[in-house]
Structure 1
Amino acid sequence: MAYTWSLIDVNLFDALCPHKYGNFKKSHVFQQYKKEDYIYFENDHSDKIYLIENGKVKIGYYTEDGREVVKAIHVKGDVFGEKAIIGEEQRDEFAVALSEVSICCLTVETLLSLMKDNQHFSLKIYKFIGLRFKKIERRLSILLFKDVKTRLLEFINELSEQYGAHCEHTGNYIIKHPYTQKDMASLLGTSRPTLNCLFNELKEDGILNYNRRAIILYKNVETLAG
Structure 2
Amino acid sequence: MSENANIWFLDNFSMMKVLKPHELMELEKMTVMADVMKNQAVYFPQDEARTIYFLKKGKVKISKASDTGKEIILSILGPGEMFGELVLAGEESREDLAVATEDVIICKVNQERFKELMAKNPALNFAITKFIGLRIKKIQTRLENLIFKTSEQRITWFLKDFTTEFGRQLSGFPNQWHVDMKLTHKDIGKLTATSRQMVTTVLRDLETKGIIKYDRSRIYILDITQIS
Quickly name the TM-score band, shorter chain normalised. 0.7 to 0.9
Greater Cα shift, 121-130 or 108-117 = 108-117
* RMSD of Structure 2 on Structure 1 (CA): 2.7
Find 1:224's aligned residue among 210, 218, 227. 227
Alpha carbons of structure 1 residues 32 and 52: separation in structure 2 relative to 1, 3 Å = same
Give, as a single letter, the amino acid of the residue that structure 2 aligns with 1:198: V
Alpha carbons of structure 1 residues 78 and 171: separation in structure 2 relative to 1, 3 Å = closer
Does 1:151 find its partner at 2:158?
A: no
The separation in 2 between residues aligned to 1:29 and 1:90, in whole angstroms, is 21
Identity %: 30
Structure 2 unmatched ranges of 5 or more: 1-10
Structure 1 unmatched ranges of 5 or more: 1-10
Structure scoring higher RCO (CA < 8 A, sep ≥ 6) equals 1
The answer on whether the counterparts of 1:167 and 1:174 sit within 8 Å (CA) in structure 2 is no
The answer on whether the counterparts of 1:51 and 1:78 sit within 8 Å (CA) in structure 2 is yes
Partner of 2:196: 192
Pairs aligned (count): 213
Cα displacement string for residues 82-103 of structure 1 (whole angstroms, at most 9, x for unaligned residues): 1101111111112222222221
Alpha carbons of structure 1 residues 67 and 152: separation in structure 2 relative to 1, 3 Å = closer
Please report the TM-score for the alignment, with normalisation by the length of structure 1. 0.81
Following superposition, the deviation at residue 52 of structure 1 comes to 1.3
**Post-superposition, which runs of at least 4 consecutive aligned residues in structure 1 deviate over 6 A?**
17-20
Following superposition, the deviation at residue 104 of structure 1 comes to 0.6
The separation in 1 between residues aligned to 2:27 and 2:77, in whole angstroms, is 25
Following superposition, the deviation at residue 79 of structure 1 comes to 1.5
Please report the TM-score for the alignment, with normalisation by the length of structure 2. 0.80
Following superposition, the deviation at residue 151 of structure 1 comes to 0.7
The answer on whether the counterparts of 1:13 and 1:52 sit within 8 Å (CA) in structure 2 is no
Give, as a single letter, the amino acid of the residue that structure 1 aligns with 2:194: T
Following superposition, the deviation at residue 37 of structure 1 comes to 2.3
Partner of 1:5: none
